[in-house]
Chain A
Amino acid sequence: GAVVSQHPSRVICKSGTSVKIECRSLDFQATTMFWYRQFPKQSLMLMATSNEGSKATYEQGVEKDKFLINHASLTLSTLTVTSAHPEDSSFYICSAHGTFNYGYTFGSGTRLTVV
């Protein structure tokens, strides 16, 4: 079946540093990647949508200069949290949509803690 590998699963970083999260589709081409975040005891909220080779589209309230998304290939998308602050601590998860069927495949998520 379709698999999306997301790394790292957990990361702790110091305030002011940058963190990169990777999502790789292992056995299919991900034409679209969705990035969500989930604050404690809240549901998943869409941050941005990226299509391979195009600039990402960000949801209202999400700073595009802070959350850099790269989707340069059909198997890899990255989210970089720049100049991270404690309020960026959250659970980030990607979801890939490809050409294999009408379903979606989620990564396993990344727990980011900024100290």
Chain B
Amino acid sequence: KQEVTQIPAALSVPEGENLVLNCSFTDSAIYNLQWFRQDPGKGLTSLLLIQSSQREQTSGRLNASLDKSSGRSTLYIAASQPGDSATYLCAVTLDYGQNFVFGPGTRLSVLP
């Protein structure tokens, strides 16, 4: 059974810092991995989708890498801003059209 973990569970940083969020999954035979953002009481915002054949994806200040063989992904946030404060979720699918398995999330707080 696929399990997804995320470290750290919570993170508080001053504005402007670069930071790394970590995600690990137990079954390396994933189809894709996706990073989401969730604001309190809200739904999900998709940040970056990495196909199993890809090593990384970038969007603005965000960069996500995937090391499928070791079962790890990292989300790098450059020059963090207070508006980045949210919970960041990592999720994987095992095959085309299958459900996501979510990690527990990292609660990020960026202090002004």
Contacts and interface: CB of A to CB of B under 8 A. Distances in A.
B32 A102 contact: yes
A109 B96 contact: no
A108 interface: yes
B89 A43 contact: yes
A46 B99 contact: yes
A107 B32 contact: no
Given A93-B44, A109-B42, A109-B43, A32 B105 contact: no
Interface in B87-112: 89, 91, 96-97, 99-105
Given A43-B89, A44-B89, A102-B51, A107 B99 contact: no
Contacts of A34: 99-100
Nearest to A9: B43
B105 A43 contact: yes
B43 A106 contact: yes
A25 interface: no
A98 B44 CA distance: 18
B49 interface: yes
Interface in B45-84: 46, 49, 51
A106 B32 contact: no
30 contacts: A6-B43, A31-B97, A32-B97, A36-B100, A36-B102, A42-B104, A43-B89, A43-B102, A43-B103, A44-B89, A44-B100, A44-B102, A46-B99, A46-B101, A49-B99, A91-B41, A93-B43, A95-B99, A95-B100, A97-B97, A102-B96, A103-B46, A106-B43, A106-B44, A106-B46, A107-B43, A108-B43, A109-B42, A109-B44, A111-B41
